Amino acid sequence: MPAGPTFVIVGASLGGARAAEALRDGGFEGQIALIGAEEHYPYERPPLSKGYLQGSAERQSIFAHDDDWYAANAIDLRLGTSVTGIDRDLRQLALASGEAIGYDKLLLTTGAEPVRLPVPGADANGVMYLRTVDDSERLRQTLASASRIAVVGAGWIGLEVAAAARHAGAAVTVIEAAELPLLGVLGPEAATIFLDLHREHDVDFRLSAQVSEIQVSADGATGVRLADGTAIAADAVIAGIGVRPRTGLAAVAGLDVRDGIVTDAALRTSDPAVYAAGDAALAYHPLLGTHLRVEHWSNARHQPVAAARSMLGQEVAYDRLPYFFSDQYDLGMEYTGYVPRGGYDQVVFRGDAGKRELIVFWLSGGRVLAGMNVNVWDVTDQIGQLILDGRPVDPGRLADPGVPLPEAAAGS
């Protein structure tokens, strides 16, 4: 049994597992407890809507570490264990089992959970969400026999589910409140890339549409009714209408909570003994000069490592640029950077939009805020460099695939 202080991590998913690893890598010899409500060893979620859902990725490939890694690294991994309260004065956690566990430092990687459909019928069998490996396995089974699927929400998860359902041979209707899929993230200029892609795969879009009710029979959901009265028949309804950070524990414990658990750039919450990272954290980003909550895999890989270093007393300012990726059909994309809502004034396309091999840049005042490479690879670092460089670019040079990206600055 390791001696010394006890560090506890609440949330045994990718973020929690990465933090535990970083504590040991950083030479921490005290006790580490990693507590998770799910019964599964910590795993990665991106395959749940891609290869694992489609049956092309093995179950073993989704886990953050081999099962024996935890014991080998003296991590007290407690699965199927919910933390129900934090007593910050006693530095003690209450578990659902009635047990208490003390901590010297605490990291909250409690993640996020799907927003539920707020309409009549939404509790019926056959209305599904996709967050956990159990959800993914249930959905895979459903897709194996369903002939019609309704997807509510044309965000990343909804569109990846639509692609998986088409792959399984089901007819798919996607219902989206906005005028275009991914409109809030990509804006109208680039969102059409994804509308066209899915339409080419025979996905039926209902845009600017509101779901007013889930239609239900004795066996469960039979479809969706829209606010304009249209009925869409479906064997299952999958809702991907966003996630909410799991902030309940932190809020009840009196920590500063807004749309996430508020931290400084060192991932410290308003209590210096408590840290937060991953989907649950609203962390100050020193380069972007704002608090950001990033609901993406790369952030869940890297931010908890920074939090662990911070817990070990190292100087930390977590300043990685937000990054995410998606795969749908034969389209792979990566997005680097951050555009505040409505915060860009120019969009530059570089490459072949027709063949879907391009990079899209979002600019403000001539400076690159973000870039999305679609079926073009190994450019993430260069896009990041343009953003960090902060100098105005020449839009003509930026758009020209013959000009190397590092030479796109105005006056180059």
Contact between 374 and ligand FAD per CB under 6 A? no
Contact between 278 and ligand FAD per CB under 6 A? yes
Least distance (Å) between residue 173 CB and ligand FAD: 20
Q: Do the beta carbons of residue 166 and residue 172 sit within 8 Å?
A: yes
Strand partners of residue 360: 349, 372
Contact between 35 and ligand FAD per CB under 6 A? yes
Task: Retrieve residue 90's tokens.
Answer: 């006693």
Contact between 65 and ligand FAD per CB under 6 A? no
Contact between 176 and ligand FAD per CB under 6 A? no
Contact between 103 and ligand FAD per CB under 6 A? no
**Can you tell me which of 7, 69, 194, 324 binds ligand FAD, judged by CB under 6 A?**
324
Residue labelled with tokens 């391009």: 358
d(CA 151, CA 166): 12
Contact between 267 and ligand FAD per CB under 6 A? no
DSSP one-letter string for 93-116 = EEETTS-EEE-SEEEE---EEEPP
Contact between 107 and ligand FAD per CB under 6 A? no
Footprint of ligand FAD on 232-251 (CB under 6 A): 246, 249
Closest CB to ligand FAD: residue number: 111
Contact between 297 and ligand FAD per CB under 6 A? yes
Sign of the dihedral through C-alpha 316, 326, 409, 183: negative
> In 200-318, at which residue ranges do the beta strands (DSSP E only) sit?
204-206, 211-217, 220-226, 231-233, 236-239, 243-245, 257-258, 260-263, 274-276, 281-285, 290-292
Q: How far is CA 144 from the centre of its chain?
A: 26
Task: Retrieve residue 56's tokens.
Answer: 């092309």
Least distance (Å) between residue 12 CB and ligand FAD: 6
Query: Could you tell me how many residues make up the chain?
Result: 412
Task: Retrieve residue 362's tokens.
Answer: 């979002």
Q: Do the beta carbons of residue 315 and residue 309 sit within 8 Å?
A: no
Q: Which stretch binds ligand FAD (CB under 6 A): 37-45, 138-146, 188-196, 368-376?
A: 37-45
Task: Retrieve residue 230's tokens.
Answer: 């249209």
**Can you tell me which of 103, 325, 338, 362 binds ligand FAD, judged by CB under 6 A?**
325
Order across the sheet with 100-102: list the strands.
83-87, 92-95, 100-102
Which of 8, 170, 2 minimizes the C-alpha distance to 88?
8
Strand partners of residue 14: none
Least distance (Å) between residue 248 CB and ligand FAD: 7
- Of the pair 274, 408, the CB lying nearest ligand FAD is at 274
Contact between 83 and ligand FAD per CB under 6 A? yes
Contact between 82 and ligand FAD per CB under 6 A? yes
Least distance (Å) between residue 19 CB and ligand FAD: 9
Contact between 326 and ligand FAD per CB under 6 A? yes
**Can you tell me which of 69, 111, 306, 337 binds ligand FAD, judged by CB under 6 A?**
111
d(CA 379, CA 385): 10
Contact between 10 and ligand FAD per CB under 6 A? yes
Strand 171-175 and strand 204-206: the pairing is parallel
- Of the pair 61, 230, the CB lying nearest ligand FAD is at 61
Contact between 318 and ligand FAD per CB under 6 A? no
Binding site for ligand FAD (CB under 6 A): 10-16, 35-38, 45-46, 48-49, 82-83, 109-112, 130-131, 157, 246, 249, 278-279, 295-298, 300, 324-326
